[in-house]
Structure 1
Amino acid sequence: MKSFTVLLDGDLYVTERLMKQIGHGHIIVADGAIRYVEMLHVKPELWVGDFDSTKADLKERYKDIEKKSFPVAKDKTDGELAIDFALERGAERIILCGALGGKRSDHAFFHFAHALAMKENGIDVLLTSGKEEGYALLPGAYSFDLPAGTIFSLIGFDDLDGLTIEGARWPLLKKNVPFGSSLTLSNEVNGRLNVTLSQGRAILLATLV
């Protein structure tokens, strides 16, 4: 599976788990997220954006990276443009680093919706800040390698039908969960977490211990 990491300008915490997830895949940077390159010890193949969020010293330091420049007044965020380039280059899996939290909540909410849209098109997506991870869920069966004690929530974007959760403090069996319900918030991993969904779309958001 061809993996791309897209560095976004939200909060990011470097952990051993995050470094293993990034591995030796392709790296594309969105604008001001260039500040994470040194701490992650990665070499980007492309730097995308209008560069209004990048300090002058960083522009100079990373001047040799291939750039794709866009006007400030444009129809897509720098992050979405970076994801587009990853898809154009054959990404089958995308890790969105810095996708959760930061100065703009609207960007984080967009990343949830965009991850679901990409999942519908067959692209595997991980959203991460290093401290939290998000996974897009469509109808199907899923298994998650999350540490015991991890707090997780399923945020439904539709009615969730036939939801089964195993390996959790509060399991569910073929439960129908209406859109807007808080039933699936603040659960806890207790073993190997498995989720099965018959119908609906959701984001599984895990807070790592």
Structure 2
Amino acid sequence: MIGTMPFLILLGGDLDPTPRLLRQIAGARTIAADGGIRHAEPLGVRPELWVGDFDSSGSDMAAAWRDVPRQSHPPAKDMTDGELAAAEAIARGASGLVIAGVFGGERSDHAMGNLLQGAALRARGIPVLMTSGDEEGWPLLPGEQEIDLPAGSLFSVLALSDLAGLTLRGVEWPLTNRDVPMGSSLTLSNRVAGSEGLKVGLGRGNAVLLARPHFGTL
């Protein structure tokens, strides 16, 4: 779990309520962004707030969750429903965010926007895990970081800028203090090698580590 007061943000993308995901969100407070509330029941959570313009949540969901407080916004706005939900969680004291329903969905621009939003939140100092249950995104910043992934997990590091001094340990194909240009395929398709987990060091730059943890064990 991320931080002492974690929040779960429910977005409208794909979601598989895996045992690993259920462990990751245990004890988290929940805010749903518009159609993301459809994931609440499969995850066994009850949102304390439902945020959005409600253009992607129909009357059935409105009836099923009528007792959840709503924060309505006009469709013509400068922030996505997900951004509004994350901002509300931070205002309520979130020490970290698990953003679920980030990947997939009908629009790739929204999925990419969600990924970049998670990276931007991490750059502000907020621990972030982005997940669909089957796929996870971990924003990387300069410094040392351990990623909790089981042995055998497939992962890639996507450089959002030129990277300097990237080090990967505990993996099949380690790197030591490598510079990685933005757009390079050098860091695609690696695997976590052992039970000690994945350790990442970065000298300069911003990246996101995308992982498939269920290529290993739960």
Q: TM-score range by the shorter chain?
A: over 0.9
* Counterpart code for 2:140: L
2:203 is matched with which residue: 190, 194, 198?
Answer: 198
Separation of aligned partners in 1, 2:188 and 2:206: 15
Quote the sequence identity (%): 51
Kindly report structure 1 stretches of 4+ aligned residues shifted beyond 4 Å: none
User: Is residue 14 of structure 2 the alignment partner of residue 3 of structure 1?
Assistant: no
Task: Tell me the equivalent position of 1:180.
Answer: 183
Determine helix, strand or coil for the equivalent of 1:80: helix
User: Is residue 114 of structure 2 the alignment partner of residue 95 of structure 1?
Assistant: no
Separation of aligned partners in 2, 1:42 and 1:179: 38
Determine helix, strand or coil for the equivalent of 1:190: coil
Separation of aligned partners in 2, 1:15 and 1:181: 32
CA drift at 1:135? 0.5
Alignment of 1:119-198 (within 5 A): 119-191=122-194, 192-198=197-203
Determine helix, strand or coil for the equivalent of 2:67: coil
Separation of aligned partners in 1, 2:161 and 2:7: 28
What is the TM-score with the length of structure 2 in the denominator? 0.93
Separation of aligned partners in 1, 2:61 and 2:162: 45
Task: Tell me the equivalent position of 1:41.
Answer: 44
CA drift at 1:112? 2.0
* Counterpart code for 2:151: A
Separation of aligned partners in 1, 2:110 and 2:60: 26
Separation of aligned partners in 2, 1:5 and 1:75: 22
Task: Tell me the equivalent position of 2:86.
Answer: 83
Deviations 1:86-117 (A, max 9, x none): 11111120000001121111112112221222
Task: Tell me the equivalent position of 1:22.
Answer: 25
Separation of aligned partners in 1, 2:44 and 2:207: 33
1:111 is matched with which residue: 106, 111, 114?
Answer: 114
Q: How many residues align?
A: 209
CA drift at 1:144? 1.5
Deviations 1:41-65 (A, max 9, x none): 1111000011111121110111110
Separation of aligned partners in 2, 1:58 and 1:176: 48
Task: Tell me the equivalent position of 2:65.
Answer: 62
Q: Which runs of 5+ in 1 are unaligned?
A: none
CA drift at 1:2? 1.3
Separation of aligned partners in 2, 1:174 and 1:35: 43
Cα RMSD of the aligned pairs, angstroms, is 0.9
Q: Which runs of 5+ in 2 are unaligned?
A: none
CA drift at 1:159? 1.0
